[in-house]
């Protein structure tokens, strides 16, 4: 196990965590951004499996949220407004009339305080940040701790912890774009995905939840026994078209299944399994990824990566019976997502 620290642009620091099985994870204290995850394929070729900029300076303007920590609220808040205890809070409208991923002052643009650590079987970085009452329009002073841990079992564990002195809206995630082909050799069309999910959330033409939950049965959203991402990209199903020919939807996870998500690339043999105590996940297949960005492995294009944004649902701010994003005052927020990397021979 090893950790290396180096200074990069704008006074940011880059931390590279590595284990004894040739896996490494690099992240910035700026935005908690994961820049690379290097893992072996079935032939032991070590390659990067997330999208990242060639030049770190480009993360200062990161409209696609590559690799970033997202908060205070991951996802879209309808009308950039919500009500808590009969008080209306207005947040930044940074996507049309709606609020996306915490706005311009979101956690993806914060320089976090960082403390690396190492044990016998793990290595990691603890990130801390205080978000002031009223920051971005949100109530409450929130004390944040996010811990990235790499284990010797090729697990990347992300622990999210927070407390607020006022009831507020909070749901955090990481916005890494995965591509298991390695060094973006191919698009994600042939990634085979399994999700333990019976219902997903319907979106309108502005990608805002309608308040309806739809049964996945007999739709391209049925990943219970696995299917290719290409099924949705090529589908004429209305919800795939609404998302820009792909997926950008909240899947409500089956709480009875501990392994929520499995992703496999048949050619490389690489596999990710995702476990989480979050109630759902947004799967985003980069349908609207900005094209022409200078990435570490070439120029960006649509369908270069797939995000698995484990989180609660911002739809809960406007609709009943959705996994809530409300965090009560002085009640600890404590969530974990584990990404396990392996290969099939």
In order along its 345 residues, the chain shows pLDDT tens digits of 999 999 999 999 999 999 999 999 999 999 999 999 999 999 999 999 999 999 999 999 999 999 999 999 999 999 999 999 999 999 999 999 999 999 988 999 999 999 999 999 999 999 999 999 999 999 999 999 999 999 999 999 999 999 999 999 999 999 999 999 999 999 999 999 999 999 999 999 999 999 999 999 999 999 999 999 999 999 999 999 999 999 999 999 998 877 899 999 999 999 999 999 999 999 999 999 999 999 999 999 999 999 999 999 999 999 999 999 999 999 999 999 999 999 998
The residue annotated as part of the active site, out of 155, 264, 297, 309, is 309
- φ/ψ (deg, to 5) at 277: -100, 10
Token digits of residue 73 = 């609220």
Q: Which domain holds residue 61?
A: 2-343
CA distance 13 to 8: 6
Contacts of 57 (CB under 8 A, 6+ apart): 9, 10
State the DSSP code for 114.
E
Give the Cα separation of 158 and 15 in Å (integer): 15
pLDDT for residue 81: 98
Task: Please indicate whether residue 175 is annotated as part of the active site.
Answer: yes
As for how many domains the chain has, the answer is 1
In this prediction, residue 104 carries a pLDDT of 87
Residue pair 42/345 in contact (Cβ under 8 Å)? The answer is yes
Q: Is 191 a catalytic residue?
A: no
Q: The whole model's pTM is what? A: 0.98
The catalytic position among 108, 175, 191, 249 is: 175
Peptide bond into 79 cis (omega under 30): no
Q: Give yes or no for a contact between 37 and 46, defined as CB atoms under 8 angstroms apart.
A: no
pLDDT of residue 96: 96
CATH code where residue 10 lies: 2.70.98.10
Residue (of 183, 192, 177) closest to 282 by Cα position: 177
CB atoms within 10 A of CB 141: 16
Residue in this structure with the two tokens 């099985």, named with its chain if needed = 21
pLDDT at residue 257, as a whole number: 79
Q: What is the pLDDT of residue 152?
A: 97
CA angle 177–180–184, rounded 5-degree value: 75
Distance CA 172, CA 146 (A): 10
3 state SS of 135: helix
Q: Are 261 and 331 in contact (CB under 8 A)?
A: no
- As to burial, measured by CB atoms within 10 angstroms (0-12 exposed, 13-18 middle, 19+ buried), residue 159 is middle
Residue whose token pair is 């600890």: 332
Task: Provide the total of helices (H) and of strands (E) in the chain, helices listed first.
Answer: 2, 29
Report the C-alpha gap between 41 and 183 in whole angstroms: 11
What is the predicted pLDDT for the residue at 282?
Answer: 98
| C-alpha Rg value of the chain to the nearest Å | 19
Assess contact for 28 and 107: CB atoms under 8 A: no
- The strand pair at 155-164 and 209-215 is best described as unpaired
Q: How far apart are the first and last CA of the chain?
A: 25
Angle at 47 between CA 245 and CA 269, to 5 degrees: 70
């Amino acid at each position: 196990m090893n950790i290396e620290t180096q200074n990069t642009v704008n006074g940011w620091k880059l931390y590279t965590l590595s284990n004894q099985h040739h896996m490494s994870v690099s992240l910035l204290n700026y935005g908690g951004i994961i820049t690379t995850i290097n893992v072996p394929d079935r032939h032991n070729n070590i390659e990067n499996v997330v999208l990242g900029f060639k030049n770190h300076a480009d993360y200062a303007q990161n409209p696609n949220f590559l690799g970033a920590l997202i908060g205070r609220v991951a996802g879209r808040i309808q009308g950039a407004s919500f009500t808590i205890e009969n008080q209306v809070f207005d947040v930044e409208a940074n996507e049309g009339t709606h609020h996306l991923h915490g706005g311009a002052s979101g956690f993806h643009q914060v320089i976090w305080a960082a403390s690396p650590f190492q044990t016998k079987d793990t290595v990691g970085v603890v990130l801390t940040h205080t978000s002031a009452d009223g920051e971005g329009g949100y109530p409450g002073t929130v004390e944040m701790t996010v811990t990235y841990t790499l284990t010797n079992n090729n697990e990347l564990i992300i622990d999210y912890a927070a407390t607020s002195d006022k009831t507020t809206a909070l749901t955090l995630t990481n916005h890494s774009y995965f591509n298991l082909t390695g060094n973006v050799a191919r698009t994600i069309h042939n990634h085979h995905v399994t999700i333990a999910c019976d219902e997903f959330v319907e979106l309108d033409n502005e990608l805002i939840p309608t308040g309806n939950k739809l049964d996945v049965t007999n739709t391209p959203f049925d990943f219970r026994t696995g299917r290719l991402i290409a099924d949705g990209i090529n589908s004429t199903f209305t919800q795939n078209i609404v998302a820009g020919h792909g997926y950008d939807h909240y899947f409500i996870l089956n709480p009875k299944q501990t392994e929520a998500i499995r992703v496999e690339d048949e050619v490389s043999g690489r596999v990710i399994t995702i476990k989480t105590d979050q109630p759902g996940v947004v799967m985003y297949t980069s349908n609207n990824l900005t094209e022409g960005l200078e990435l570490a492995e070439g120029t960006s294009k649509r369908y270069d990566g797939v995000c698995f944004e484990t989180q609660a649902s911002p739809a809960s701010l406007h609709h009943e019976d959705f996994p809530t994003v409300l965090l009560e005052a002085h009640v600890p927020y404590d969530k974990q997502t584990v990404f396990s990397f392996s290969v099939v021979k």
